[in-house]
Amino acid sequence: MRIKQPEIIYEDEAIIVCRKEAGVAVQTARAGQADVVSLLKNYRAKKKEEPYIGLIHRLDQPVEGVMVFAKTPQATAKLSAQVSSRSMEKEYLAVTTGVPEPQKGELRDWLLRDGKTNTSAVVARGTSQAKEAVLDYEVEQVLEDAQQALVHIWLHTGRHHQIRVQFAHAGYPLVGDTKYGKPEQGGRYCPVALCSCRIGFLHPVTKKKMEFVIEPKGKAFSGVAKDTKNV
């Protein structure tokens, strides 16, 4: 796919808020492969600015959404502290296979990451190196004759593949998620039906509360995006 410059939603002397498209990596070690961090560095370099970009949080490559990056090491430290203290607010929209029951609730699991396969799995509490994963959710719409649901998610921890793993473990894998759900018929590629739709944090310099909301626009949300304006 052709990688283009991320859409800049907001920018000042300390931060850049942008939209990451589905299919684009946030950061990659592969030579010659464009990612959001390198594209933003090039963007700053073209403006004759120091091409520093501080990575604060991540989104999986097949996921779209709003992200914040720092433009100075000081801003990186302050924003990263908000992530560590769980004070940075992150909300998502997802389309699940099946309708979660109950339609409003909490998922609390322990996840263990496998670096060799780049996957995570739900394991028993107390498992060595496992980390607690917590989210709240609420079904917003029932879709496709009750075969799918649009779900609003409030993420409280940022574990590897957390939302995808927890919903798959609960029996409701995300639409398009071939890693934790069912393969697409005919081998067709479809982005995971997951969008980071809102992010909230304190500005690292002014301490002002910042909030950014977007609507999903990927084909994974075809037919439901128009109904998510009040997220």
| Residue 60 appears among annotated catalytic residues | yes
Alpha-carbon distance of 5 to 21, in angstroms, equals 10
Alpha-carbon distance of 133 to 109, in angstroms, equals 5
Alpha-carbon distance of 119 to 90, in angstroms, equals 22
Marked catalytic residue, from 35, 60, 109, 177: 60
214: amino acid identity, one letter: I
Give the CA angle between residues 65, 43, 218 to the nearest 5°. 25
Alpha-carbon distance of 109 to 231, in angstroms, equals 26
Which of the residues are catalytic? 60
